[in-house]
Chains A and B, each alone.
Chain A
Amino acid sequence: GAVVSQHPSWVICKSGTSVKIECRSLDFQATTMFWYRQFPKQSLMLMATSNEGSKATYEQGVEKDKFLINHASLTLSTLTVTSAHPEDSSFYICSANPGGIYNEQFFGPGTRLTVL
């Protein structure tokens, strides 16, 4: 299957700092990538759809100024959590579909963010 990587795998930061998470499609190009958030023992929650070369589409209730998404190339999307607070602590997972956005979806290994 297609491979999606994320970096870092975990990060601990102080409240008020910004954290950038990278998502890369290693063996395919992805014009669209997805960012999810997962709380303990809960399923995934779609945060936003990242579109290469254009603005991301955010789901209702997700603050676009808080979660900045940049999809600068066909293999890289970044999520920046700005002025992070303890309530932003979560597991962030990115995803991409090599065969088009309607087909099989592959996920990165996730990034565990802990804000102190």
Chain B
Amino acid sequence: SQTIHQWPATLVQPVGSPLSLECTVEGTSNPNLYWYRQAAGRGLQLLFYSVGIGQISSEVPQNLSASRPQDRQFILSSKKLLLSDSGFYLCAWSLGQGVDTQYFGPGTRLTVL
């Protein structure tokens, strides 16, 4: 069966500091991978998606970036965090075919102070 991991689970960072969040998927090959952000009391906003190694598409202009250095690894980064970057960051995967259901990881709660 497939498993998705995210770390860290929680993070408190000062404004202007860098960020690196990691997501890995086990039990499947060549998944589609997604990064979402959920602000407090809000819906999920798609940030980035990837259909393969090195293939990244951005949905919303911002100071975040994503990379996919390996088939089942997805990284979300920032060089300088803003207060508005606070939120619940969720990684998701899908098979990329058929109904293409997305399954979410446990998430990283980021607080920027």
Decide if A and B are genuine partners: no
Interface residues of B (CB under 8 A from A): none
